[in-house]
Amino acid sequence: MELNIIKHSTATSPRPPVDEADRRLLAAIQHGLPLTPRPYAEIGAQLGVSEEQVIARLAYLKEAGVIRRFGVVVRHHELGYASNAMVVWDVPEEQVTELGRCIADFDFITLCYRRPRRLPQWRYNLYCMIHGKNREEVLAHLEWMVNHCGLQTLPHEVLFSRRRFKQRGAIYTLPAETDGC
Amino acid sequence: MKAELSDLDRRLLNDFQQDFPLSSTPYADMARSLGVTEEEVLVRLHELKQAGAISRVGAVVRPNTVGVSTLAAIAVPPEKLEAVAAIVSGYAEVNHNYEREHRMNLWFVATAPDAARLHTVLDEITIRSGYEVLSFPLVEDYHIDLGFDLRWN
């Protein structure tokens, strides 16, 4: 049966090694590369390493999959993609991986994760985020996806975002620097 | 924001979400491929960042490789929502915090250097807000982040 086919899994592959120097490097660029002609040289100067070392280590972290994407990080909302919904599904355990991969394939999906249920308060175990220019577009994307992946009978809820209280990139500062928070 | 975008802006926003140059002069390399000067690239990136269209030029890190993160949610009575949201947003560890249309109406992502600090943050929010925080850590990730294809029409 198709649902039992096990394909390559990103989450179950071993964690790539990240050492203290990598943590310092990622912390140094967490707010973004400097917008100056030699950004890697500047980061290197901050960390006491060479420009070449910064570039080589970033290339390694990309290759190892620690950095999933390196480039311009856009903010959807400000660019007209004003509507987003988190859609949560209650999926039988043996189907989660297959359906998760089917959902993740659409280009309007920006996240697709399996997460634990919290019974009795929360029965859902598969999450995806759908972006669109407005509510109707998000719902049309959802309908298309439901039909394509055969999700018609699965219990789900659509949680549109209402207000954004805070949004920024994750901060990877070292433990010593967060003690005061 | 959208109405003011030039062709150069659109290419800066859409064409460099992946494979940003890892060379000693990345902005000059971008400028060459766009047929503009390095100065123009730097000025426009800076302005797009100021305008909020770009959060940064940098790395999107795979969850739970550096630090530990979770998605958490709280069911807050509507009249208390702003006050609880302010408590949540006040933590440096919280990077996203949204109101969503549901009884479980406040959703946030918290990232900390280690699990102990992450639990402390969630426990503190429970105590300070008076409402239970449910934590939903990542179990499996199905999405490959290729950026977001922006469509202008």
pLDDT (tens digit per residue) in B5-54: 899 999 999 999 998 999 999 999 999 999 999 999 999 999 999 999 99
User: pLDDT at position A80, please?
Assistant: 84
In the predicted structure, residue B1 carries a pLDDT above the cut 60: no
In the predicted structure, residue A55 carries a pLDDT above the cut 80: yes
Q: Tell me which long-range contacts A104-110 makes (C-beta under 8 A, separation of at least 24).
A: A104/A128, A104/B142, A104/B143, A104/B144, A106/A141, A106/A144, A106/A145, A106/A148, A107/B149, A108/A132, A108/A141, A109/A145, A109/B143, A110/A76, A110/B143, A110/B145, A110/B148
Give how far B2 is from chain A: nearest CA, Å: 6
Give how far A114 is from chain B: nearest CA, Å: 5
Cβ atoms of A116 and B136 closer than 8 Å: yes
B143, B144, B145, B152: best mutation site toward chain A, by most A Cβ within 10 Å? B143
Neighboring chain B residues of A31 at a CB cutoff of 8 Å? 56, 58
Tokens 């203290």 — which residue? A20
- Check the CA dihedral A83-A88-A89-A95 and report its sign: positive
Distance between CA atoms of residues B136 and B98, nearest Å: 15
C-alpha distances in angstroms, B144 versus A25, A67, B106?
Answer: 23, 11, 26
Of A67, A122, A175, the CB nearest to B113: A175
The three-state secondary structure class of A37 is coil
Partner-chain contact B100 A159, CB within 8 Å: yes
In the predicted structure, residue A169 carries a pLDDT above the cut 90: no
User: E strands of B14-121, at which residues?
Assistant: 54-61, 68-74, 94-100, 106-112
User: pLDDT at position A146, please?
Assistant: 97
Neighboring chain A residues of B101 at a CB cutoff of 8 Å? 159-162
Partner-chain contact A41 B112, CB within 8 Å: no
pLDDT (tens digit per residue) in B129-153: 999 999 999 999 998 877 888 877 6
